[in-house]
């Protein structure tokens, strides 16, 4: 009888207040899957967490995609800080491990496991705040037989852009395969606290260069988590989603957890927002300042700075001319598809240039493929070269 009593006590602990009970206390995982059912090379979404919807141990994903470079990006409330997250999963077609070829200030990268393996980047230093809209942009582009993936963030209060990471994925022609997913997740059984995510201004660029706005989305809650014994059972009716409006217009929202949260919609459901824009309207890139030097061995070196409140750069183009109109065929040029580059060099030594006045023309193209105004820098060569 003593053994039986201990067994019953243990069972009561497990079911009434122990690990099994705690395992049923997560807020329901909720999704919005947008209507971009085609391959693309750029995806954009704006995300905001209202102050009443900020909860520890919550991941607010704004961009999720499938394909041979499948991954996800969003923001988190983590014990260390408010962070940005961008990750890509390993795939059987990859010919090499995923690696970071660029890390922005404060960005860390580390391999991950669990639900698949891959490379995770996170940035705890840049930070984000409740009640502010943040624009998240991901872009992929071919580099040889690999595909690069870049991730950028724009803060709605400062308007500043930051390039957080670029990853090299060992597979050719990887794309963002739709529909793009957004979700809200409680990863530490804290369903008693409500968490809310809001999203607007979503876009995907087709492979022909045209833009598609996120005008519709399927809302759903993970039904398999709501059954007895499952992770969200105690909060199985504490969720909601839909469309709301403010002075800027309509936006999607999802709420998960919280004792007072109750659904006003079905699971699943369809929501839509009428979009009139034909392309994203962020300010085009501008070059703030550029400088030039010519070394003794006839290397032209140019450095520049871009405006942090105009759309972040993707590529740069430097050309040299012998006339101030800087049009037509240049004497020499160099093109870089390196988003974090802020300098370029040109070897002039083999061109046989005479002494005289020359002109360097610098242009940059932003991550939405819009060209900046040209910056022209005159310079003088003092002697002919062989």
State mean pLDDT over 371-379: 98
Domains of the chain, start order: 2-272 (no CATH), 287-381 (2.60.40.2550)
Q: Cα(first)–Cα(last) distance of the chain, in Å?
A: 102
pLDDT band at 80 (very low <50, low <70, confident <90, very high): very high
Confidence band for 2, pLDDT divided at 50, 70 and 90: very low
pLDDT tens digits for 101-118? 999 999 999 999 887 899
Quickly state the pLDDT bin for 4 (edges 50, 70, 90): very low
- Greater confidence (9 vs 37) lies with 37
Positive or negative, the Cα torsion across 295, 297, 302, 303?
Answer: negative
What average pLDDT score do residues 33-57 get? 97
pLDDT of residue 22: 62
| pLDDT value of residue 115 | 77
Name the nearest CA neighbour of 122 among 59, 188, 203. 59
């Amino acid at each position: 009888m003593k053994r039986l009593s201990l067994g019953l006590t243990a069972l009561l602990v497990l079911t009434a207040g122990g690990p099994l009970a705690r395992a049923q206390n997560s807020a329901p995982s909720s999704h919005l899957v947008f209507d971009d059912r085609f391959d693309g090379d750029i995806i954009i979404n704006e995300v905001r967490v209202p102050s009443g919807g900020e909860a520890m141990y919550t991941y607010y994903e704004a961009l999720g995609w499938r394909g041979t470079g499948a991954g996800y990006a969003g923001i988190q409330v983590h014990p260390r800080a408010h962070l940005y997250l961008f990750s890509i999963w390993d795939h059987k077609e990859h010919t090499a491990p995923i690696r970071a070829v660029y890390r922005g200030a404060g960005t860390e990268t580390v391999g991950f496991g669990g639900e698949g393996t891959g490379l995770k980047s996170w940035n705890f230093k840049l930070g984000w705040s409740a009640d502010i809209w943040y624009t998240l942009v991901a872009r992929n582009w071919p580099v040889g037989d690999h595909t690069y993936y870049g991730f950028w963030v724009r803060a709605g209060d400062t308007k500043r852009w930051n390039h957080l990471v670029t990853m090299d994925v060992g597979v050719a022609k990887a794309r963002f395969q739709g529909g793009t997913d957004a979700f809200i997740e409680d990863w530490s059984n804290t369903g008693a606290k409500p968490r809310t995510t809001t999203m607007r201004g979503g876009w995907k660029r087709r492979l022909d260069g045209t833009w598609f706005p996120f005008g519709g989305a399927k809302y759903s809650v993970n039904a398999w988590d709501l059954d007895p014994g499952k992770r969200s059972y105690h909060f199985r009716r504490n969720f909601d989603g839909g469309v709301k409006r403010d002075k800027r217009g309509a936006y999607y929202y999802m709420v998960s957890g919280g004792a007072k949260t109750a659904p006003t919609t079905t699971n699943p459901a369809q929501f839509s927002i009428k979009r009139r824009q034909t392309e994203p309207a962020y300010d085009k890139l501008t070059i703030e300042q550029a400088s030039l030097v010519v070394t003794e061995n006839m290397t032209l070196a140019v450095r520049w700075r871009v405006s942090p409140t105009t759309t972040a750069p993707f590529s740069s183009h430097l050309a040299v001319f012998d006339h101030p109109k800087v049009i037509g065929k240049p004497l020499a040029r160099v093109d870089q598809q390196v988003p974090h580059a802020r300098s370029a060099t040109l070897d002039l030594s083999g061109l046989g240039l005479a002494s005289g006045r020359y002109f360097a023309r610098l242009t940059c193209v932003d991550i939405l493929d819009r060209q900046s105004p040209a910056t022209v820098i005159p310079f003088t060569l003092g002697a002919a070269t062989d």
